[in-house]
Structure 1
Amino acid sequence: MFIGPSPPHTHLLNNRRNNHSPRNATVSSALPDLLLAAISLLLLSSSPKPPNRFSFPLTPRRRSTAMSRRSPPPPQRFANPQSLSDWLQPRLPPDSFAAWGVKPGTKNVHNLWIELSDGETSITDSTPPLRTVNVVTVRVMGRDGSILVEGRQELSDGSVRERNRPLSEKMKPDESPDQAVIRAVKEELGSIFDAGDDVVERVKIVPGSYSRRVEEKSSLSYPGLPACYVLHSVDAIVEGLPEEDFCTDENEYEEARAEGKAVTVKRHHWKWVSPDSIRA
C-alpha cells in the first residue's frame, strides 16, 4: 500500500470544493436578510404618515385691508348753540362771524345748530370748516312750459332775502330725492292747498329728469363759512297751483322761532318764469 502525498489532481479538486462551499453558504444566508429588508420597506411605505404639525399654506394669507382702511371722521356734535359758537369762533374770520344774524338775509348760530342736530348739515373740523348740505331742487313745470321760482323770502327778523331760484329744500338723513320732493312741496307750497288735500297725489315727478351735481361756494346764510352743496334736481308737475304769482306761509323751526332765537322763513313769494331766465 502506497502512503504518501495525494495526487495533484485530487488536491486541486478538494481546493475547488473548499472554495465553492463558503460562497454558496454566504449567498444562502444573505437571502433571508434581503427578504426581511424588503418586507420592512414595504410596511413602512404603506403605513399612514403622521400629521405635519408645522405645515404652512402654499400661498401666504393676505392681510385683511378692512382694518387698514380709514373710516370717515364722525360728524361734529354740539350739545347746544353756545358750544357750537365757541367751536366756530377761532375757526372763522371775526368780521364774518360777527355778521351772522345781523346782516340782512343771514342766519345765526341757532340756525346752524338746528341743521346739525337734525342731520341736514355736516361740518368738518378744519379752518375754516366746510359745511356740506344735500339739497333737492324741484323744477315745477307750468302748463305753458314756464317754471315756478321763488322770487324772495320774508324772514322772521323782518328782512327780505332775494332768491330767484326753483323750489329747493335741505334733505334729511337717509331721505331719497323722491321723498324730499314730496316734503318740499308740503312744507313750502302746502299752505296753498286745502288742509284735507293729499299733496302726494298732486305731485308727479317727470321720469328721467333726475340729475346730480356738486357746487362749492361761499354761503350767503353764514358769511365766511364755505359750503359744499350736493344738488339733486328733478322736474315735476304739481296739480292745483295758481297760474299767476302767489305766496305761501311756512312754519319753519316753529319752536325755535317762538323762542326768538333762530331766523326763519315766514313767507315765500312765487312766480312763473321762462326756463331761460332761471339762474343756474
Structure 2
Amino acid sequence: MVEQHTPRSLIVTFYGAYGRAFDGPVPVSALVRLLGAAGVDAPSVRSSVSRLKRRAFLLPACAADGSAGYELSVEARQLLDDGDRRIYGAPEPSGEWLLAVFSVPEQERHKRHLLRSRLARLGFGAVAPGVWIAPAHLYEETGHTLDRLHLTAYVELFRGGHLGFTATAEAVARWWDLTSLAKQHEEFLDLHEPVLRALQSGPAPTAEEAYRGYLLALDSWRRLPYADPGLPRELLPADWPGDRAAAVFAELHSRLRDIGAEFLEP
C-alpha cells in the first residue's frame, strides 16, 4: 500500500507538530526546506501556502530574521489547539453523550450541508435527520467549530445518557460505520507498525530521519481520532484495532518528535 500525503495536508501537519515552536512567523525559506525533507518540492509548497492563505489558515507576516514568512491565524491556532487534545489525548469516557439537533431553513440549505459535513468531520454519528451524536468530551471543540463557522443559530446541544430502547453497543454500531473505522486503523498499522519495529531494532535515527518519519506518521494519524472520536471501549468489538494503532502512534511520537525538532535549525 502506498500512502498519499498531499502538500497542503503536510503543511498543516508541520504547523501542528513544529510550526508553533518558531520564534514568530515561519520564514518561507524554512517552509521550503522543511517540507522538502518530506518530499514536497518548492513550487508545491508555495502554491499550497497560497491556498491556505486564501482560506485564512495562514497569514503573511515578517519573520524574526526580517524575511517573508507566514503565521497562523487566530482561528487556525484554535483549530490546532483543539486538535492537540484530540490527537495526543486519551479522554476518559464519561458514559455521557453530546447530542446536536439542528434545523436549517430550506432557503439556506447550503448551511445544512455544511453542518452535516462538519459534524461528520468532528466524529459525530448520525442518529436521524437533523440529529447527530458524539461522546460528550467533544462539547468544547464542537462549540468552537460551530462558532467559527457562524452556525450556532441553527444548532442546539444536549448532554446526557442513552436510555434505550436498543442496547447502546447496538446503537453505536448503527450510528458509526465501525467496519470502515476498523479498516482505517488497520491501514495505519500496515504502514507504520513496520516503521516502529525498524526503530525498535535498528540504530537511532538522525534528526532529519526522525523529523521526516514523525511528520509522515502524524499526517497519517491525525485523521483517525476524528473518524473514531473516542467511543467507549466497552461498546466496540473485542478485537478493535484502534487500541494498537494508538499505541503505535504514541511510541512513534515518543521516539521521533523531539529528535526531529533538532532538524528545524538549519
Q: Is TM (by shorter chain) over 0.5?
A: no
Larger helix share, 1 or 2: 2
Larger strand share, 1 or 2: 1
Larger radius of gyration: 1
Which TM-score band applies after superposition, normalised by the shorter structure?
under 0.3
